[in-house]
Amino acid sequence: MNIDLMISRPISEWTLSDLQSLGSSRIPESQRLEFKSDFEQGEQERWRTRQDQISSKSRDALAEEIVAFANAFGGVLLLGILEERQDDGTRVSTGLGEVIPRVAECADRLESGLRDVIDPPLAMLEVKAIKRGDDDAGYLIIKIPASLSAPHGVGRPARGFVRRGASCEPMTMRDLQHTFWEARTAIDRVNSIFSLRSEHFRQDTLARDLGVPPPNAFVSYRFTIVPARSYAIPHLPSVFGNREFQVANVPFSSRQPDMLAYPSPRWRPAARAMIADDENRKLTIWTDGTIELSGKHTATVGGGRHYPAWYAAGGIWCLYNAVRLRRHFGHVDVPLLVECELQPSRRRAVTFCAGDPFPDEVNAAAEPALTDRLELGTELEFDAVAQLFAEQIGWACGLDIDFSTMRLGSNLRAG
């Protein structure tokens, strides 16, 4: 059993079979894996006796373990796995423990309670119920990301904890300093990448405007998605050369424009990146997991009229493949930061239209339009973030457009 691969999977993919296999395999606890046979209160736990709420003692004990993961490298806590201490002090799994009654409701109550006592709140915390059968009883999986908002604490005033090996320990002042530095470095890295990509984009658009003017108006675009922490992909060319990962079209629930999608790129290696490009577009994936689709799109009909839906669908295509890339490399708990920048051609007038036959249109501004930087956490947030991203692209074009048809729903797992 590849436990590291299992820990890296989305929590939605965990099953009862996984827990049974893990419980019977004598897997040791580690820096990213913790077993709990029961709540801190055991048989006296209020959820077991009354099933109306989780006791504060049990909630806080779990919260301490959770913030210890969040302040280190993230991980998974499994509630309902029996464990046994070995002679060397390590604890290994020995099977499944007593089931938790009304486990789905318990998961909701626990997640809500944890958010009340963890400070600052832990954005990507996930709690999932795994039912044993049809009686609503089962076990809990808690997935915790390595947090950019660390250090986190429990209670008021907050008490900090950190994961050392397979143990949860109180944070020292040095731990606090180190955690602050790690979080600040990660944020600075993201800001630096976006700044550099914007600078390159504006240089490229200036070069296009200074060149031979095209017969029709065009819009330069950039969709950039940056993971909050580097994936550090060791040999990117082999990933694409061996077709271990391939980009894919977005499985929208309804038909959407796809002229900006790049479904069959021909890759070539570059410094710390793989690049695919043609006359009008460029797709780049870097070793840290950053992905960018950029280029220019020329309106071939309607003079200088452009539809924001073209760019919204292109941005969602890029975001969708960034999610697939994240999943492929086992970094599902790493947030993705996304932004779009548009620059209409200066030498040909551009008009943005809401639809056909142009019920609402606006002349494009001469300056670049930049969306807010959005964050995508878990895959369950994809539709909500994609909708907001599409709306912001519409706003950047000067229009308020309903993009509610650009949804994936259950189709997200199709890729």
What's the mean per-residue pLDDT of the chain?
90
What mean pLDDT do residues 369-394 have?
94
DSSP 263: S
DSSP 28: B
Q: State residue 362's pLDDT score.
A: 84
DSSP 165-207: TTEEEEPPHHHHHHHHHHHHHHHHHHHHHHHHHHHHHHHHHHH
> Token digits for 98?
């007593």
Q: State residue 317's pLDDT score.
A: 96
In the chain, how long is the greatest CA-to-CA distance? 78
Q: What is the pTM of this model?
A: 0.86
3-class state of residue 334 by DSSP: coil
DSSP 98: P
Q: How confident is the model at residue 212 (pLDDT cuts 50, 70, 90)?
A: low
Q: State residue 49's pLDDT score.
A: 93
pLDDT at 211 over 60: yes
3-class state of residue 382 by DSSP: helix
Q: How confident is the model at residue 37 (pLDDT cuts 50, 70, 90)?
A: very high
Q: How confident is the model at residue 359 (pLDDT cuts 50, 70, 90)?
A: low
Q: Which of 54, 144, 97 is nearest to 332 (CA)?
A: 144
Q: Which of 134, 143, 160, 122 is nearest to 10 (CA)?
A: 143
Q: b/e string for 213-225 if b means 16 or more Cβ within 10 A?
A: eeebbbbbbbbbb
pLDDT at 72 over 90: yes
Between these two residues, 133 and 67, which has the higher pLDDT value? 67
54, 45 in Cβ contact below 8 A? yes
One-letter amino acid at 238 equals S
